[in-house]
Each structure stands twice: as C-alpha cells, then as structure tokens.
C-alpha cells in the first residue's frame, strides 16, 4: 500500500505479442521496455515535485507519442489507405472533465490536442477535419502526415498486399496517475489497428472504453482490440470494480476476464486506485508497462 501522500504513475505501451524481431509492427521488445520506463520516470518526477495527475499523464503520453517505438503519434501504424490517423483522450478524475480527438491526420501530439479540447472548448470529442481546424485555432501547427510515418511502418504497409487487417491495436500507449492531492487522471493515445479503414475509430478516444478517471473510483487506460473494449465499456467497468471494493489488480483481472468471456476481446488495462496502488492485467502474450513502487522506484515489465 502506498502512503497517501506518495504519488503514483503507471504507463503501458500496448498489449500485443512478445516480438524481439519487431516484425509484428510492435517494434522490438527492449526499446519498448526502455520507452515505457523513460515515460514513467519523467511523469513520476513531475508528480514528486507536486505536479498534478493530469499533467503527469499528459507528459507520459506525449513522450510515448514522440517515441517511434510505439503505435501512437510518430511511428503509428498505417491505415488501408497508407496514411496515419490518430486518436487520443484524457480524463481528469477530480472534475470528470475529459477531452478527446479522433481521426486526426496532421497533429504531432494528439494528447495535447485532446487537452485543448478539454480546457479550451465547450466540446469533449472533435474528429477529423474539424479537429485539425480546432488545432490551428489553438496554435497547434500542422504536422505533415508523412512525418508521423516511420520507415518500418511504411515497409510493413508495403509488404501488406493481401494481408488481413489486424484486429489488435498493438502498441497503443496510455498512462494513469495519482498525485499528492489524491486526484487521479488517465490518458490514452493510438494509431489504431494496422490497415484499418480510414475513419475507423477504436476505444482509445472513447471515454468509458479506452480511458476513464474518477477520484471516487480509479483511473484506467485500456489497450488492445478496440471494438470489444467499447462493447464492454472496459475502462468504466474496471473503475466501477475498484469503486465496489476490489483492489486495482483484482479489478484489472476481472475486467480482462469479462472482456474475454463476453466478447472474445484481447487486450489489457492499467489502473491506479485512490490508494495509489497500481493494477495491471492483459490476456495477450505481453503488455509493455512501467510503474512507480511505493518507494518511488520505477519498475518495468513486458
């Protein structure tokens, strides 16, 4: 059990396969473990200095978006049309405020645009060209789609003729945090599934599915096959289980059990409860993750 005033951070780099070759599109394992560790360390340092849970999850998510190892921001998977479309959301457990964007093609850090939706618009979710227009109004510069595409993802796309689209959005990233004031927050960002149809939106930008945070319950970020995750409202489900008295680890495990049992879904979740204890569960072979232990050390696992 964490001390009440000890902050907590947990991040994930997507549920998927163990794949040291990187041929799955998830990227090799070692950089993934290092990447989630770096993001968690930076966010933990911010929390340790008194920063808010919302600032911490946005920092972690933006670092993971910029890390080409992950399927979010730079390095995202390509759609069936050969370009990148990005989705992201965040939620502040103190206020239940949330912001999200989906199907965004020209923004380097969609999590920062989602934050602008939360803080500087009357809306919660803005999609497609409307999200680009909002970004420009907010002073977020246009970022060419080609600059989001890394050579490995382009090569994977070029080799995909006749390949069936994947259904597991490996490499989605997310972060959950509790700050010294006891507030929790969650953030999630993704490029979605490989070879998705343009316009397809998964769970990551959907409040209640990919992301949920409520100081009375918990903060949760999901990863995996988006459609089943939406059908069971996975993030809300796991948060409610913490609210009903389960530990974050038990709630995560039960949420993933329900995901598999009721809708044959594959994925994972990270959770931080009001106590600051983290929880993780996944029914895929691996989920890159990092978290702060009660002493403030950052631990990582695949």
* Residues involved in catalysis: 172
Choose the stretch contacting its own copies; rule: CB under 8 A; options: 17-25, 229-237, 268-276, 290-298. 229-237
Q: Cβ–Cβ contacts within 10 Å for residue 137, how many? A: 11
For residues 103 and 89, the answer to whether their CB atoms sit within 8 Å is: no
| 3, 66, 265 from 101: Cα distances, Å | 35, 17, 24
Determine if 258 is a binding residue for its own copies (CB under 8 A): no
Smallest gap, in angstroms, from Cβ of residue 199 to its own copies? 2
Among 8, 53, 86, 125, binds its own copies (CB under 8 A): 125
Q: Which of 104, 31, 105 is nearest to 68 (CA)?
A: 31
Q: Is 227 in the site for its own copies (CB under 8 A)?
A: yes
Considering only 44, 134, 282, 291, the residue that binds its own copies (CB under 8 A) is 134
What region does 296 belong to: left with phi over 0, alpha with psi -120 to 50, or beta?
A: left
CA max distance for the chain? 54
Minimum separation from the CB atom of position 93 to its own copies (A): 11
Other C-beta atoms lying within 10 Å of the C-beta of residue 59: 23
**Is there binding between residue 124 and its own copies (CB under 8 A)?**
yes
Find, among 164, 161, 186, the residue nearest to 173 by Cα: 186
Verify binding: residue 208, its own copies, rule CB under 8 A: yes
Of 149-178, binders to its own copies (CB under 8 A) are 165, 167
For residue 141, the 8-state DSSP code is P
C-alpha span between 77 and 166 (Å, rounded): 11
CB of 230 to its own copies, least distance (A): 5
Work out which of 199, 257, 285, 294 binds its own copies, going by CB under 8 A.
Answer: 199
Partner residues linked to 104 by β-bridges: 86
| Rounded-to-integer distance, Cα 179 and Cα 158, Å | 44
131 binds its own copies per the rule CB under 8 A = yes
Select from 38, 156, 178, 200 the one that contacts its own copies (CB under 8 A): 200
Pick the piece of the chain touching its own copies (CB under 8 A) from 35-43, 61-69, 124-132, 141-149: 124-132
Backbone angles phi, psi at 13, to 5 degrees: -120, 25
Residue 269 Cβ vs its own copies, minimum distance, rounded to whole Å:
15
Where do contacts with its own copies occur on this chain (CB under 8 A)? Answer: 91, 96-98, 102-103, 121-131, 133-134, 165, 167, 196-202, 206-209, 212, 226-227, 230-233, 236, 240, 262-263
């Amino acid at each position: 059990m964490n001390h009440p005033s000890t902050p907590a951070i947990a991040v994930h780099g997507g549920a998927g396969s163990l794949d040291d070759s990187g041929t799955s599109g998830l990227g090799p394992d070692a950089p993934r473990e290092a990447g989630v560790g770096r993001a968690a360390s930076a966010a933990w340092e911010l929390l340790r200095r008194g920063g808010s849970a919302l600032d911490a999850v946005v920092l972690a998510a933006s670092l993971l978006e910029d890390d080409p190892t992950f399927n979010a921001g730079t390095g995202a998977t390509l759609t069936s049309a050969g370009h990148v479309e990005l989705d992201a959301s965040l939620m502040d457990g103190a206020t239940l405020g949330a912001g999200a964007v989906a199907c965004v093609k020209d923004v380097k850090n969609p999590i920062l645009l989602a934050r602008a939706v939360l803080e500087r618009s009357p809306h919660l979710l803005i999609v497609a060209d409307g999200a680009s227009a909002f970004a420009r109004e907010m002073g977020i510069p246009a970022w060419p789609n080609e600059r989001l595409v890394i050579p490995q993802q382009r090569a994977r796309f070029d080799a995909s003729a006749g390949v069936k689209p994947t259904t597991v959005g490996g490499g989605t990233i997310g972060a959950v945090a509790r700050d010294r004031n006891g507030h929790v927050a969650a953030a999630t960002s993704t490029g979605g599934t490989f070879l998705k149809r343009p316009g397809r939106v998964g769970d990551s930008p959907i409040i209640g599915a990919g992301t949920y945070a409520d100081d009375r319950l918990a903060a949760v970020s999901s990863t995996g096959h988006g459609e089943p995750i939406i059908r069971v409202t996975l993030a809300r489900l796991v948060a409610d289980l913490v609210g009903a008295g389960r530990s974050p680890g038990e709630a995560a495990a039960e949420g993933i059990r329900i995901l598999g049992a009721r809708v044959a879904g594959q994925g994972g979740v990270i959770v931080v409860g009001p106590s600051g204890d983290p929880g993780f569960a996944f029914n895929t072979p691996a989920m890159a993750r990092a978290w702060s232990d009660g002493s403030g050390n950052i631990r990582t696992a695949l």
